[in-house]
Amino acid sequence: MKRQTTIGKKVELVGIGLHKGVPVHLSLEPMESNSGIVFFRSDAGVSIPLTPANVVDTKMATVIGKEGVNISTIEHMLSAIYAYGIDNLRVIVDADEVPVMDGSSMSFCMLLDEAGIVELDAPKKVMRITKEVEIREGDKYVKLSPSNDLNYDFTIKFSHPVIDRQSYSLKFTKENYKKEIARARTFGFVHEVQYLRSKGLALGGSLENAVVLDDKRVLNPEGLRFSDEFVRHKILDAIGDMSLIGMNFIGNYEAFAGSHDLNHKLTVKLLKDPANYEVIELATAESKVMAKAYA
């Protein structure tokens, strides 16, 4: 039987927060079975369980909060945690955002590799999508549909010569994630950065932790890590955002011009109606699929 997991030991790192530009100390600690993923603001003494009900903002990043205490930009790290199939974990930060590192989830993958993964005593639970659930706004949409495995299909369209229309399909396994998705960085446009800074945001953003474009080209001297790095990063974000359902799922995720906001609305709509899913404990037959995915 496939069992729940946590990390083997406490690990930590320090990095710059994207929006405030100040150093943030992050540590990950093991937790018992059935604890889920819990965030803790050590400077404020407030715990924030990872649930859609605790999402307070989705404009620029996924932000969770409780009792007026927030933690921002959680999606890159969650993407790695989810990709590693980790069920129980305490995430401690001493500021109001998770460090951005290089703008991808690779640093978090390395941190989890250092921590190691251990099995706990309780059986692993996963959510099987049983009905199609969709959020559509104009021509933008995100949807989940039933499937026997896990796939992410994403299409973006930007009126920019470097991006234009890009599509990517990820057949999800931990290995595929590390190889195809984890290194894809967040991206932004110069005119947006100037606006955000006028609002006191993106103060930590730089060519070290984001792909930045002007009207015609990529400004990063090293260029892109993949020709379609933009859409790959959108899949990285989506994997992090979908982790708010509280467990790994089996089904297809599909999006056109999806966003943190649409992903959040999708998780809320999914969980609102129990007919949309079933929670299963992984018996032997199903666990072979899952075991392979997170090997």
Catalytic residues: 260
240 closest CA partner among 294, 181, 290, 187:
181
Q: Which residue has the tokens 């937790």?
A: 31
Tokens of 155: 């299409």
Residues 6+ apart with CB under 8 A from 280: 125, 126, 127, 128, 286
What distance, in Å, lies between the first and last C-alpha atoms of the chain? 15
Q: Are 116 and 86 in contact (CB under 8 A)?
A: no
Q: Are strands 3-7 and 117-123 parallel, antiparallel or unpaired?
A: antiparallel
3-state secondary structure of 253: strand
Number of other residues whose CB lies within 10 A of the CB of residue 240: 26
Greatest Cα-to-Cα distance within the chain, rounded to the nearest angstrom:
55
3-state secondary structure of 185: coil
